Amino acid sequence: MDYRMLELMAPPDTIREARKVVEQEQVLGVWTDTLDDSCSILRVLINTNRTEALSDRLTQKFSSADGFRIMLFSVEATVPQPEVDQEDETADDTNGENDSSKSDLGRISREELYADVSSGSDLNWVYIGMVILSTIVAGVGLVRDDVAVIIGAMVIAPLLGPNVSMALAATLGDLKLGWRSLKANAVGVFSSLAVALLMGLLMEVDLNSQQLINKTNVSMGDISIALAAGSAGVLAFTRGVPAAIVGVMVAVALLPPLVNVGLLLGAGYTGLAVGSMILTFTNLICINLAGILTFLMQGVRPRTWWDAQKAKKAARTAIAIWLVLLIILAVIIWFWNLTFNPL
């Protein structure tokens, strides 16, 4: 069982009222400290999947108070282990006030999710360096036909963050995050392509490499892989799973085909590069489409109803765009396999 420590800072009178609200909820522990005459702190030990509902309730009731601030901390362990009544687990939200759809999904809170995912859209030299390093590793692995080296590049997984944050931005209707994610994604893709192109010019690209040739063959099955990768990436974030664990799967669908495009273009194999390019675009579309759908299925929504309405419209628009692009690419894939065999 995962736990969170929710800390609320506010004036003493507000903290006393907030404690009454918290004690009506199914929490594992409540503590109050007075910092000074103008500020007190309320600490609440709670199951991870109940954090968002409680945070929303406290924000709605007390956010206008001076110095109001909520902070969430991950609890690695607690001794003794909290005793949870089985009846509390099954009778989750029977009082009519709680949103059971959020409680039963077992995900981290919206605020934690946003903090984790939005950091992946930061465009800085560390991110660009990770893209370049993963491209070099993947390129060498593809040329040498070495699966272990390619997996090493996948573990770095620099393109995981921007794509997941793009999906979250569309789900929440967050235009600012969307532009940041799109910019980081574009810089990452073009940086990887440029490095791979240079490697193709300088290295001897051997078409006997099975790993290299495999990334030029695109089929309808690759759509399923990319959709699964996008969904897995989002589930990893919503469950608080380390990104590196699922980064391998996302990279399977994204990084090697992209690097393959640059290698083949640099070596002069334009026809083969087109196949890898189609695969790369298909994977980008599928990962983002699956990401948005998975966020929606996990119940990720803005807090206020007016933001929710805006987000609903943004999500529908994004889904429609990605679906249209996916259908177009599916037709291209069918036509490509029907009329041209690069081998």
Displacement of CA 62 from its chain's centroid (Å): 30
* Mean pLDDT, residues 301-319: 86
Helix (H) or strand (E) holding 38: none
DSSP assignment of 231-298 equals HHHHHHHHTT--HHHHHHHHHHHHHHHHHHHHHHHHHT-HHHHHHHHHHHHHHHHHHHHHHHHHHHHT
pLDDT of residue 250: 56
Q: Please write the tens of the pLDDT for every residue from 282-303.
A: 889 998 999 999 999 988 888 7
Domains (ranges, CATH) in the chain?
3-106 (3.30.70.120), 111-339 (no CATH)
C-alpha–C-alpha distance, residues 131 and 127, integer Å: 6
User: Please, which residues have CB within 8 angstroms of residue 233's CB and are 6 or more apart in sequence?
Assistant: 160, 163, 164, 243, 246, 247, 249, 250, 287, 291
The alpha carbon of residue 150 and the mean position of all alpha carbons in its chain are separated, in whole angstroms, by: 22
Strands (E), the chain: 3-10, 29-36, 39-47, 69-75
What pLDDT is recorded for position 58? 93
Residue 148: per-residue pLDDT: 80
As a whole-number percent, the residues of the chain with pLDDT over 70 amount to 86
What does the pLDDT average to over 54-58? 91
Task: Render pLDDT for 74-116 as a digit per residue (tens, 0 to 9).
Answer: 888 888 877 655 445 444 444 444 444 444 456 888 888 888 8
Residue 240 predicted with pLDDT over 50 = yes
Summarize pLDDT for 138-162 with one digit per residue, the tens. Answer: 899 999 988 888 777 776 667 888 8
The pTM of the whole model exceeds 0.75: yes
Residue reference for tokens 């400290």: 33
Distance CA 137, CA 208 (A): 19
Of residues 253 and 165, which shows the higher confidence score? 165
Mean pLDDT for all residues in the chain: 84
Four-residue CA torsion sign, 278, 282, 283, 285: positive
pLDDT at position 343 is: 47
Length of the chain counted residue by residue? 343
